[in-house]
Amino acid sequence: MTEETTTREIKTNGYVIETNDLWRVYKSGAQEVQALRGVELQIEPGHFVALVGRSGSGKTTLLNILGGLDEPTRGEVRVFGQELSHMTEAKRTRWRREQVGFIFQSFGLLPTLSAYENVELMPRIAGMRARERKERSLYCLDLVGLSKWMDHRPYEMSGGQQQRVAIARALANKPKLILADEPTGELDTSTAREILTLFQKVVSDEKVTMLMVSHDSLVDEYVDQVLRLRDGQIVKE
Ligand code: ADP
Ligand code: MG
């Protein structure tokens, strides 16, 4: 980490993400699953962080709560100094749109839209002005190396290219935080490495913090910090 990337625009006690005794219990009928059992974590600004752990250990649940897609059963989550559980649903939706970019394993692109249109849709929904929206979308496609592919639809592209479009889309609203859930899960090893290298570039160029769920031992070489979940708790490395 360089000095510059660790000391940027942060309003809190140094962390961009902080949780205290975070629990998420799923109830379905008489069944109860304790997906998160008192998660404590801190993430520093500008860090590229991997969240690892076995299937079912609670990674997706944690990511969804940190991104305001789900609410904890108990405990506190602060992201950029905002206590998420105190927000109304509407406020949280707006907060999410402005501050967080999501990337998924299966890319999640709209099949009938071109790469450019997929990227541009996000700032459109957020209400960005047309000219800025266009500039930003072109910039993001350039950042991921896909300017020449902007008029192509997802099915005309490789998995790696589709994930690049999804990365450009996640960046389009200038988020401060990127959350990625197994973004390399569908990619072969060399393409996965390309995407991980791109993530490093995105974190440093765009001055974002990134939390990435991964199964892959490959990620250790690329990230600043590894958080390990086991049975809903963070294990100290
Ligand atoms: P991971 O992403 O690490 O595979 P998840 O967060 O998806 O783990 O799941 C953690 C645990 O919570 C698992 O036991 C899973 O079956 C359970 N779980 C996840 N989502 C739900 C849900 N919507 N309803 C009930 N149980 C769930
Ligand atoms: Mg998962």
Tell me whether residue 217 is in a domain. yes
User: 164: Cβ–Cβ under 8 A, 6 or more apart, which residues?
Assistant: 144, 145, 146, 195, 198
Task: Find the 183 Cα to ligand 1 centroid distance in Å.
Answer: 18
What's the number of domains the chain is made of? Answer: 1
Task: Find the 35 Cα to ligand 1 centroid distance in Å.
Answer: 6
What's the pLDDT tens digit per position in 111-141? 999 999 999 999 999 999 999 999 999 999 9
CATH assignment at residue 192: 3.40.50.300
pTM for this model (two decimals): 0.91
Contact assessment for residue 106 and residue 166, using Cβ atoms and an 8 Å cutoff: no
- Domain enclosing residue 189, as ranges: 45-73+88-235
Over 60: is that where the pLDDT of 215 sits? Answer: yes
Most ligand 1 atoms within 8 A of CB, residue of 33, 213, 215 to mutate: 33
Tell me whether residue 181 is in a domain. yes
Q: Which ligand is nearest to the CA of 228?
A: 1
Q: Which ligand is nearest to the CA of 104?
A: 2
Which residue puts its alpha carbon closest to atom 20 of ligand 1?
Answer: 61
The SS3 assignment for 22 reads: strand
What's the pLDDT tens digit per position in 86-110? 888 899 998 998 899 999 988 999 9
Tell me whether residue 57 is in a domain. yes
What's the pLDDT tens digit per position in 40-85? 999 999 999 999 999 999 999 999 999 999 999 999 999 998 898 8
